Amino acid sequence: MNRFTLPAAVFALLVIVLAIGIKHSPDKGVIASPLIGKPAPQFSLPSLTDASRTVSTTSLRGRWYLLNVWGSWCATCREEHGMLLEVRQSGVVPVIGLDWKDDDAQALSWLTQLGNPYEVVAVDRDGRTAIDWGVYAAPESFLVNPQGIVVYKCMGELTRQVWEKEILSRLPKQQTAKS
């Protein structure tokens, strides 16, 4: 017997076991946010649409909201935009925009052309607030409860499936009755 046969067989068996485990993992592709169950990071940023207004976590406290991190430079943000407009129209939960590392004029043009799904848009020009929220890439959305606790994070595009299965299921029943 060749001296490499047994190690090669053990290695092949290990690869098979790991592949089966990964394939059947329910959390495959999910990166859990360390913010879940913790207070939302504090911020106070200028409003995109009203230079005299400030958007802050303090002003958002006391109600449910969905913080959506986006940028006019983001192709996937454009894909999810229609869903965000539907969420706004449903009236179930306000959508707060966090315009991340964007040009104000381009962001305003984007909202004028595509429609504005946001109750208010905070401008994160230097990206510091997105870092505090643990943003990897736009778009990302965070569901925050009235106590200011992050209860869910959606990495990537907010789809109808994510909206129905992940977000609506976390909201109080009287809140979802609006839709």
Burial 110-126 (b: 16+ CB within 10 A, else e): bbeeeebbbebbbbbee
Structure tokens at 44: 């106070």
Task: Give the C-alpha separation, 174 to 93, whole Å.
Answer: 11
- φ, ψ for residue 65, nearest 5 deg: -155, 160
As a residue count, the chain comes to 179
**3 state SS of 178:** coil
Task: Give the C-alpha separation, 91 to 114, whole Å.
Answer: 19
The structural domains of the chain, ordered by start, are 33-176 (3.40.30.10)
The pLDDT value recorded for residue 28 is: 45
Per-residue pLDDT of the chain (179 residues; tens, 9 = 90+): 677 787 777 677 766 766 676 666 555 444 567 789 999 999 999 999 998 999 999 999 999 999 999 999 999 999 999 999 999 999 999 999 999 999 999 999 999 999 999 999 999 999 999 999 999 999 999 999 999 999 999 999 999 999 999 999 999 986 666 55
